[in-house]
Structure 1
């Protein structure tokens, strides 16, 4: 397999196949500008002259050159045939997506893939495998950091791409996030994901009272990693703020927030980034046609339908990739551990002619549905059936031929699982803001269990900002980050005891300072005791309405009153 550059193509044109060369990585010019560096090249993979369906680009930095395509066009004009390696030139390159390596291996084998990467001067290989001095010099160049490492996908490829060829499955490593608090002080949160014990380190929890900065922490994490908003490189350079000890080696960030007051970014459409899919938001807010942001309670249902179709389509499109996780099977297996159903369906319009679907349609209570297992037969032609589907109804579950009736909390619970898996890639980071807003206490525990089941096959991790003690006791203490207000401002501390399976009251007392807070229950008992005067008399008066905890509290208050 060869890498070949085609000169003088308009930047919107697709790099062509090269039948005379056989299998190729075909490159052509692109005018994308990364802070005055233009290193991006359009890229397509052709195997047996057939285009592989995979959207990516290659960024290539040439020594002492700030516009790669212009330089390559000049080299071709001077006689270069466009076939890599480029003669007598020092250069280094990176793909925009780590899946580039997996596709190469799956299509041409590891040996040919390594040959191609060597001709391309892949940065990850040059640094971590060959320790090439010339390449290392280019890696230290401002253009490499500003342009080649700007996109999250390329950064992930640089950090972990070479490991694929060593049969090492990369995991999300520990990282330290440095945020700026309200008083502009730097506060650090050491997120722990690398388990060194039997305890599960797949979820980190941020817990603390309202208004202390938990959501700000999540927003900072998102924007620092994407290098948008407060994380925009020029803003960070002016403030001299370093957001991470090392940029997290995650491939995608998925954010879930159903708070009515959240202000997370909806998408990356207005950001100066090529990879618009590096970040996915799920919540109640959406961009309207007039450009204003509106709220829709039905978005989770609509998103679940779209996510189901997307995961079925992706499973078919990328099934050739070796060891790729099947998304639909993963979420179906996880959901069946949480709710009882036989299969899931999408509802069909009763007004459309559905004869073209043949026997794929089922009828329940005079309504027409299309089971997910039958949608798979349309995976390569989703566009042909999508207009007949009532996507706003969301994913529907069937048990023993009947529709499963779910509460509103259960529906949101399963929609989130479907949406997250639909958006996930391997090594994704799932960020969820206050899941307890839509879950009752029993579902909180089930949600954590379900979340762990969908994280595991994708080797992904999660960060949750919460007030929930039930969620916190499901996480080891090293993964718990307590936000609290002290005399000197915000403090972020770990609990001084093990929270995993710990006592809820103990966690509550430490996190929220319950011992120092007067509750209405305590105040009522204190007032009654002052009026009656005698603890035993008060207990007798309460009769059958008293419980053991109340008796103990009355006796304790009685002792305190005698000691005054």
Structure 2
């Protein structure tokens, strides 16, 4: 093992080289190379440090020999854990993790250090905590405690799971089946329906059921709640809504902040609202580590058709995102960027992301790219996203097997009911989707109604508007005139 640079000899093993990455004064990043079977494997960056923190190189040779008396802790990455699973048997794997004080392997130590904040003044960066501000700058707690830990025991990063929500009558309201081995990813779901059908209310109901179940589980188990009753639950929920008309979402409190996050706007006439969003984006990017910034750069490539996003991607590549550049974005662009950063840093396995009307503020190309970006984030982390929408553009991006239609039912007290739709949506023509879902409503309003009324009006002169009629309007005129002739 080497300390400051790679110096690979003929001896098989792991080689560590400290890099220059600075986490608010903490320097804990080491590049790792594994040399086995005459092959060099680059495993990326991991965190290794003395605890409490000392700004010194870790002498890995002495660590291996057992001559270091100070406490050493470490935290790896996905490729690192995968390689160790491939190269070591169980006992060797266990000894390796114990030697390096791997926090993903020892979850009791992980929880203890994560909860026991130990702030150290790091010069201009102010008080900072080694665990949260360095080790967890590239990872979130749920991912490490569950997915990374499973990998240290020889398991995989993703696993199959099912979650269902039941209403107050114990009837299944909605269910999710996630299989990471599916050829077509199943991470996106949606509720579609007319205005007033109860889409947003259903999202709130799902959220309230989730928070109630979490609170009950926590009260029963105390502070040491083992959320592995999560065989039936999501581990955390992120609710995103920018609607100016819906404000009574379940609040985030000190009791539920561990597993619930609301992302939205406090609508007002405050002219600094846009600047507030920009400041939040700037803060999130500054706090994000290399892994998250790299993921953001990859995601932003989906928006390269947009000049400003393309410009931002060049800045992200240089590890900076100036506040002035963020402020130049439109409202829709800012909302997209804020949401993407929040999701990249907070989603892990068994995260439920709920987004109410993602089509707000976005034109069709941005909306399509936004949906695909969300899919990539939640699929990569093995989470789930549930939309509520009335946009055919959103439905074009989601398989019909994951789409529910919601409508009011007067026979059961004007409550909303959900039904799976029976026609294909992914890649389907948007006009067909709109006509199938909103058919009669569409034909009784807008230009449809205008043409129909004009046909039955004997005094209306169609020649005066023929120059502006589109193909569908002309077809409707022909159909309605044929009907009128029969009558």
Common fold: TM-score over 0.5: yes
- The Cα RMSD (Å) is 4.7
| Residue 480 (structure 1) aligns with | 403
- Kindly indicate whether the alpha-carbon contact (under 8 Å) linking 1:258 and 1:437 is maintained by their aligned counterparts in 2: yes
| Structure 2 gap ranges (5+) | 1-47, 55-74, 85-90, 109-139, 221-228
Structure 1 residue 482: Cα displacement:
1.2
| Residue 479 (structure 2) aligns with | 556
CA distances 1:48-96 after superposition (whole Å, capped 9, x unpaired): 65469xxxxxxxxxxxxxxxxxxxxxxxxxxxxxxxxxxxxxxxxxxxx
| Residue 93 (structure 2) aligns with | 110
Alignment match of 1:283 (pick from 247, 261, 264): 264
Structure 1 residue 446: Cα displacement:
1.5
Structural mapping, 1:77-476, within 5 Å: 110-112=93-95, 161-162=149-150, 164-171=152-159, 173-180=161-168, 186-194=171-179, 198-227=183-212, 232-233=215-216, 248=232, 250-260=234-244, 261-269=246-254, 271=255, 276-285=257-266, 296-312=273-289, 315=290, 326-339=291-304, 340=307, 341=310, 373=318, 395=326, 406-425=329-348, 427-476=350-399
- Kindly indicate whether the alpha-carbon contact (under 8 Å) linking 1:178 and 1:189 is maintained by their aligned counterparts in 2: yes
Structure 1 residue 561: Cα displacement:
2.1
| Residue 322 (structure 1) aligns with | none
Q: 1:166 aligns to what SS in structure 2?
A: coil
User: How many residue pairs end up in the alignment?
Assistant: 362
Larger mean Cα displacement after TM superposition, 191-200 or 481-490: 191-200
| Structure 1 gap ranges (5+) | 1-45, 53-98, 123-151, 238-244, 287-293, 316-325, 347-370, 377-388, 397-404
- Kindly indicate whether the alpha-carbon contact (under 8 Å) linking 2:147 and 2:157 is maintained by their aligned counterparts in 1: no
Question: How does the TM-score come out when normalised to structure 2?
Answer: 0.60
CA distances 1:530-557 after superposition (whole Å, capped 9, x unpaired): 2337xxx955454423333222211211
Structure 1 residue 249: Cα displacement:
5.5
C-alpha separation in 2, matches of 1:193 and 1:263 = 30
Alignment match of 2:455 (pick from 520, 523, 529): 529
- Kindly indicate whether the alpha-carbon contact (under 8 Å) linking 1:177 and 1:188 is maintained by their aligned counterparts in 2: yes
Structure 1 residue 471: Cα displacement:
0.5
- Kindly indicate whether the alpha-carbon contact (under 8 Å) linking 1:156 and 1:251 is maintained by their aligned counterparts in 2: no
Question: How does the TM-score come out when normalised to structure 1?
Answer: 0.53
**Cα–Cα, structure 1 residues 490 and 250, in superposed 2: closer, same or farther, change >3 Å?**
closer
**Cα–Cα, structure 1 residues 548 and 509, in superposed 2: closer, same or farther, change >3 Å?**
closer
- Kindly indicate whether the alpha-carbon contact (under 8 Å) linking 2:326 and 2:334 is maintained by their aligned counterparts in 1: no
